[in-house]
Structure 1
Amino acid sequence: MSAVSWLNSEAFSVLGQHIIWSDMIGNTIGLIALALGWKRSVWTWPAQLLSGLVLVAANLSVNQAGGVGKQMVVIAVAVWGWQRWSRGRRDAQDGSIAVRFATWRERGYLVAGAALGTLAVGGLFTAFPELSWSPWADAYIFVGTVVAMVAQARGMVEFWFAWLLVDLVGVPLNFAGGLAFSGLVYVVYGALVLWGMRDWWLRSREGARPAFEGAPA
């Protein structure tokens, strides 16, 4: 049995829902990545990278081509975020990445990017139904995840708000799509997001300063 075949084999069943190894392992690593992001540790990015690699197999198992594409983008953004945090300015007290609120201009870019990206990806998924069985919800999650990760890479508190909005759609979509463990993990994500949002919010108020030296506003 190949590694991919094992990853996509059933681990166990709960209330009629079949849990596969790739779904469970990939999302568990994703939870660890979110917790590391809460702690502003640069290790959040290699964890997100590994989670994305495993979840590619999970999405292949249920023929969610759109989900595979999303994970490939997540992997690329994780590599970029890892590089950015590795050379970013760190908090003088504990060595972790300093955080801040986005400027109004940056918020405008994030919202516009999310809206236009969702329209573009949703249109693509609609034109090619084999990419996703739920094109607009999948597009919303796809683009929302990328927006959240970009905001996280720049140390913006708003990244938590973006994750929360993704969770609101991600929970029912994953249950309906056959990735039950992903659905359960998104519920836990919601709780972690609220706690992480509070922590970053408070830390951002300790001193108003740019998150990274040389980073554009």
Structure 2
Amino acid sequence: MNTLNSEAFALFGQHIKWADMIGNVIGLLALVLGRRRSLWSWPAQILSSLVLFAAFAPAHLTGSAGKQVVVMVVAAWGWAQWIRGRKQAPDGSLDIRFATRRERIVMLAGTVLGTIAVATLFTTFPTLSWDPWPDACLFVGTVVAMYAQARGMVEFWFAWLLVNLVGIPLNFTNGFAFSGLVYALYSALVLWGLRDWWLRSRAVRTPALQGAATP
């Protein structure tokens, strides 16, 4: 772990750690694979989280470290969901859809209430996190994003965008410059992936509506 958390190089006055760099490069790969709806997105996320856990655990960022544990658990579940979904689809493709109104309300309420609850825990026990509110938002937002991804919801990209906007200043402030830079790159990739899933969801929905209208 000491080797993973040693400095790899300096960039623009920022110290880049091996674990921070390696974990995020794998995470970028996972995001690209997710955009392509590849099953390999999930094992890549698990591997990325293993490496990033080694980076965040000693840094008093419990939300960021705990997020990696949750990511691994949810990624295993999401992997199974995608495998099951592909087996059930006639053409072996993944079903992409927009969340229902009820699902959106539940995810939004879960994000707000979950962030308040986790931030309260971090505030009560300051040793758990030095930045309780953004750390809590990052933790809860990631859980919501991965849940929506596992269910094939287009909204998961919006959740990831929120996580990125919080993660950029949080990581720069706490010495994880490479994570901060990668979160900025994530934002561009998220918009790219959002456009792709949005268009594919509309393409799937349009024939269904036309079929329903056929007498």
TM-score, with structure 2 as normaliser: 0.91
Q: Does 2:99 match 1:99?
A: no
Provide the C-alpha distance between the structure 1 equivalents of 2:107 and 2:121, rounded to a whole number of angstroms.
Answer: 21
More helix by share: 2
Q: CA deviation at 1:65?
A: 2.5
Structure 1: distance between partners of 2:74 and 2:81:
10
Any conservation in 2 of the 1:41–1:96 contact (CA below 8 Å)? no
- Alignment RMSD, CA only? 1.5
Is 1:143 the counterpart of 2:140 in the alignment?
yes
Q: CA deviation at 1:124?
A: 0.6
Give the corresponding residue for 1:215: none
Matches within 5 A, 1:1-217: 4-89=1-86, 95-208=92-205
The 3-state SS of whatever aligns with 1:88 is helix
Q: Tell me, yes or no, if the aligned pair for 2:142 and 2:163 is still in contact at 8 Å.
A: yes
- Checking the alignment, whether the CA contact within 8 Å between 1:62 and 1:178 is kept in structure 2 is no
196-205 vs 14-23, greater mean Cα deviation? 14-23
Deviation at 1:77, TM superposition (A): 0.7
Work out whether residues 8 and 61 of structure 1, in 8 Å CA contact, stay in contact via their aligned partners in 2. no
The letter for the 1-side match of 2:168 is: V
The alpha carbon displacement at 1:88 in A equals: 1.0
Name structure 2 gaps, 5 residues minimum.
Answer: 207-215
Q: List gaps (5 residues or longer) in structure 1.
A: 210-217
Larger radius of gyration: 2
Change beyond 3 A, Cα 1:186–1:92: farther
Q: SS of the residue aligned with 1:5? A: coil
For 1:78, give the aligned amino acid: A
The offset of 1:208, in angstroms, is: 2.5
Work out the CA distance in 2 between the residues paired with 1:133 and 1:189. Answer: 24
Query: Deviation string for 1:82-119 (max 9, x for gaps)?
Result: 111111147666x4422110010111111111111101
Contact 2:63–2:138 (Cα < 8 Å) also in 1 = no
Secondary structure in 1 matching 2:205: coil
Specify the code of the residue in structure 1 equivalent to 2:147.
Answer: V
In 2, Cα distance between equivalents of 1:160 and 1:66: 21
Of stretches 65-74 and 140-149 in structure 1, the one that deviates more from structure 2 is: 65-74
TM-score (norm 1): 0.90
Deviation at 1:15, TM superposition (A): 1.8
1:66 shift after superposition: 2.6
- Counting aligned pairs with the same residue, the percent is 65
The answer (yes or no) to whether the contact 2:23–2:51 under 8 Å persists in 1 is yes
